[in-house]
Amino acid sequence: MPDLPRKAAARTFRLAALPAAYAGRTALGVGKRLGGAPAEAVLSEIQQRTADQLFRTLGELKGGAMKFGQALSVLESALPEEMAAPYREHLTRLQDSAPPMPTPMVRSIVAADFGPDWQDRLVWLDGGPTASASIGQVHRGRWRDPGTGEVVDVAVKVQYPGADEALDSDLRTLGRVARLIGPLAPGVDIKPIVEEIQARAREELDYPLEAQAQDVFAAAFADDPEIDVPEVVAVGPRVLVTEWLDSTASLASVISSGTPEERDHYGRIFTRFLFEGPARTGLLHADPHPGNFRIIPADDGGPGRLGVLDYGSVARLPQPGLPEPMGRLITLCAAGDADALMAGLRQEGFLKDRIRLDPHLLMDYLAPFVEPTQVEAFRFSREWMREQFQRLGDPKDPAYTVSIKLNLPASYVLIHRTWLGGVGVLSQLEAEVPFRALMEEWVPGFSAAR
């Protein structure tokens, strides 16, 4: 594939065809059932073909289409099991890979960013990519330090040609067809996913801005025994060179085949990074899909470390740590102080002045959000995550009425999306995590002993 498919009409057609194809397969399935085919067999066939087309299309188009698919993959654990099972293999594949960009094109982009003598510094560049993402792909290379002459292994992330045009086109189209794509992923609210991607897309195209964020995280976690953030070696408008991580696989491999001990170990480190990162850096890594978290085996065969990649999407917080009101409100909810919780939610803008809610219904609605803080160690699971989404998506459930009356202030949008994504990953891992202790240590305003 020479570059990203850039013609807006062609990309729009392929994305818009997804819901139409789903409708067609559903109609065909009705016909098969009328012809005597078992309902379960027909449903399974529809789901499998839908997964094949949906994630193949999103992966091949890359850009905003693939980014939408990656965001959807984090929430896989929220889907009903009969719907999620056929998708799981495709979702995992999308988190870690996509069709490659030709080597000559990669070299021409590197030359454009680093000049005609680029090979004096990047002395070797692997012809094939080691990983592909929504707006770029990664190659292994070796970099010679101009000052010392030392040669080190590096990861070279190269942005796809036309990524900006493709991103704009995709996000406009996905915004229009989000309602129609909904049936492909029942139980997941598609519109906020698209809106969040639209809001952050331009930042992720800015590799120098990403390099600045990665520098901050690398300095903060330089001596951490469990977390590894590669240092930035060089950056250009469309090329980012960082230290190479000796990683065997991503967190997706632990999700698919990890032992209970591995799930708990990496789940704890993953949670610690999401909570501790803001406290150390004033930034929140806001792209918690498993492909960004790499397993680094220990030399002695003991518990491994977690390497964290991709700093294109970060929330820049007004002060170090997650917002203090967030921890305080969770504490009030856990303590059952409905009146103080209502007052706090109004003060922070979660409840508009004109909105009236039954405090007891509000407490029932928020109870699952604080459930992981109520015990010493909480076991996340797909079943638990599904229950929460089904409850909040059922118009007959009182919790649904509460959900449509709450407001999400702009300053919390990305935090909320990251929190939800992080819980989704922990539910896929089915990890037992000391959630309460980690919150007490790293989330301002939270106290379990109220």
CB atoms within 10 A of CB 189: 16
> Do residues 116 and 152 share a domain?
yes
> Do residues 68 and 119 share a domain?
no
**358 conformational bin, left if phi > 0, alpha if psi -120 to 50, beta if neither:** beta
Residues 6+ apart with CB under 8 A from 306: 226, 227, 228, 251, 266, 269, 270, 273, 293, 294, 295, 296
> Do residues 39 and 119 share a domain?
no
Instruction: State the residue range of the domain holding 178.
Output: 8-99+172-188
Query: What pLDDT shows up at residue 14?
Result: 55
What distance in Å separates the CA atoms of residue 286 and residue 414, rounded to the nearest whole number?
7
Residues 6+ apart with CB under 8 A from 447: 327, 331, 440
Is 398 a domain residue? Answer: yes
> Do residues 354 and 233 share a domain?
no
Query: What pLDDT shows up at residue 22?
Result: 44
Please report where in the chains the tokens 């939408």 appear, as a residue: 68
What distance in Å separates the CA atoms of residue 3 and residue 63, rounded to the nearest whole number?
11
pLDDT in tens, the chain (450 residues): 444 444 444 545 555 555 444 444 333 333 333 333 344 443 344 445 555 555 555 545 454 455 555 555 545 555 555 555 555 555 555 544 455 788 899 999 999 999 999 999 999 999 888 877 667 889 999 999 988 999 999 999 999 887 777 666 666 666 655 555 555 444 445 566 666 666 666 788 899 999 999 999 999 999 999 999 999 999 999 999 999 999 989 999 999 999 999 999 999 999 999 999 999 999 999 989 888 999 999 988 788 999 999 999 899 999 899 999 999 999 999 999 999 999 999 999 888 888 888 888 888 888 878 999 999 999 999 889 888 877 766 777 777 778 778 887 878 878 988 898 899 899 999 999 999 999 999 999 999 765
Is 261 a domain residue? Answer: no
> Do residues 237 and 343 share a domain?
no
Q: What average pLDDT is seen over the chain?
A: 79
> Do residues 61 and 159 share a domain?
no
Is 270 a domain residue? Answer: no
Query: What pLDDT shows up at residue 37?
Result: 37
Is 41 a domain residue? Answer: yes
Is 123 a domain residue? Answer: yes
> Do residues 236 and 342 share a domain?
no
Is 176 a domain residue? Answer: yes
Is 94 a domain residue? Answer: yes
> Do residues 64 and 129 share a domain?
no
Find the CATH number of the domain harbouring 138.
Answer: 3.30.200.20
Task: Say how many domains are in the chain.
Answer: 3
> Do residues 42 and 151 share a domain?
no
> Do residues 64 and 177 share a domain?
yes
CB atoms within 10 A of CB 409: 13
Instruction: Assess contact for 52 and 89: CB atoms under 8 A.
Output: no
What distance in Å separates the CA atoms of residue 440 and residue 447, rounded to the nearest whole number?
6
> Do residues 359 and 328 share a domain?
yes
> Do residues 56 and 121 share a domain?
no
Question: What residue ranges in 127-261 does DSSP mark as E strands?
Answer: 131-132, 136-144, 151-159, 227-228, 232-235, 239-243, 249-250
Report CA dihedral (216, 221, 227, 233) to the nearest 10 degrees: 50
Query: What pLDDT shows up at residue 346?
Result: 92
Is 93 a domain residue? Answer: yes
DSSP, collapsed to helix, strand or coil, labels residue 14 as helix
